[in-house]
Amino acid sequence: MDKNTAEKLYEAFYMKVFSYVFTLTGDQNDAMEITQETFFRAISTTKEFRGESESYTWLCAIAKNLFIDEKRRHSRFADAPLEEQPDTKKSFEKSLVDAETKVQIHRILHELEEPYKEVFQLRVFGELSFKEIASIFGKTETWARVTYHRARIMIQERMEKS
């Protein structure tokens, strides 16, 4: 899918798909993540949209499948004790709230290499979307997602060491 078509698709259907996913999840953060992943998959897929259905229907089908996959993933670990299977994403985000941890994260961020440092700060503290971050760097949205994810992993690893 070419960049122009992808942008038009995103602008035309983002809020509709987000609203649909929000009704499935009931959680704004989960809905945002699934919606972003939906567009990422739709845009980056090697299979082209065949036009057998409406674009919105196609996107909602992708979103629904992602939601079901996520639900299955969570149900596998529902019976496991918390000590064995910690939810690192939730615990990591919760630790951002803790004042002492904030100082530790800022120290780690200070030492973090670019562009990881800036991308993480723009996403977490600046509350920018991946699309906005990508436009700042003149890169793709996928690049922004990957860079943020890698920065998060680096910070988590360094926090575990100290």
Which domain does 118 fall in, by range? 88-161
Domain count, the chain: 2
End-to-end CA distance of the chain: 44
Q: Is 26 left (phi over 0), alpha (psi -120 to 50) or beta?
A: left
For residue 114, being part of any structural domain is answered with yes
For residue 73, how many other CB atoms are within 10 A of its CB? 9
Query: At 55, which CATH number?
Result: 1.10.1740.10
Given 38, 54, 76, which residue is the final one in a domain?
Answer: 76
pLDDT tens for the chain, residues 1 to 162? 677 887 888 888 889 888 888 888 888 888 899 999 988 888 887 565 555 567 888 888 888 999 888 888 877 665 555 444 455 555 655 555 566 777 777 788 888 888 888 888 888 877 788 888 888 888 899 999 999 999 888 888 888 887
